[in-house]
Amino acid sequence: MIVYNNKKQTKKEKHKQLGDFLTRNPRNPNTPKPVTHRVKPVEKSTSKEAEVLSNVISLLKRLNVFYIRRSVGLFFTAWGQHVSVGCAGEGDIETFLPNGIYCYLECKSGKGGVLSVDQIRFKEKIERLGGKYFSVCSAKEAYDYLMPYLPTDPLFEGCYD
């Protein structure tokens, strides 16, 4: 356990420095935090985030798009050692599209959701590097975002419908 200034640190305090390092803008470290905004769903729905995630994964399987389910969090081993998994702000699903573009999909509940500051910063970094980061509230919305990046060669005709 790390103790600074004779005060026990919370999990949030322990990982704040690492999170700040990963999400800072290297060109201007004094960049203010981005403002969060509500994500608007395509259509009104009461789907929970887990349902949206499951539907999007089913869509990716149907479209034959390679994906990795990403999880971010902190857990403790049986010996009390903490293990950090993922990167703050990372999307729920990481995909590699056929044309070489990598893409993150952040699933939100069907009513819409709010991107956290870490998610906005991660999105900005990914887009600066040429990738895509989409916040989706339904499988239909994910389909609409992904279709322009999938092959249109006649050989693939009908594969993505």
pLDDT 10s digits, 122-158: 999 999 999 999 999 888 999 999 988 887 655 555 5
Q: Compute the average pLDDT of residues 89-107.
A: 88
14-60 per-position pLDDT tens digit: 667 666 665 555 566 566 555 555 555 555 566 788 899 999 999 99
Q: What percent of the chain has pLDDT over 70?
A: 67
What's the token pair of residue 30?
A: 């004094």
Phi, psi at residue 85, to the nearest 5°? -120, 135
Task: Assess contact for 79 and 160: CB atoms under 8 A.
Answer: no
Provide the pLDDT confidence category of residue 103 given band limits of 50, 70 and 90.
Answer: very high
Q: Which domains does the chain have, with CATH numbers?
A: 7-156 (3.40.1350.10)
pTM beyond cutoff 0.85 = no
Maximum alpha-carbon separation in the chain: 67
pLDDT score recorded for residue 69: 92
pLDDT at 3 over 90: no
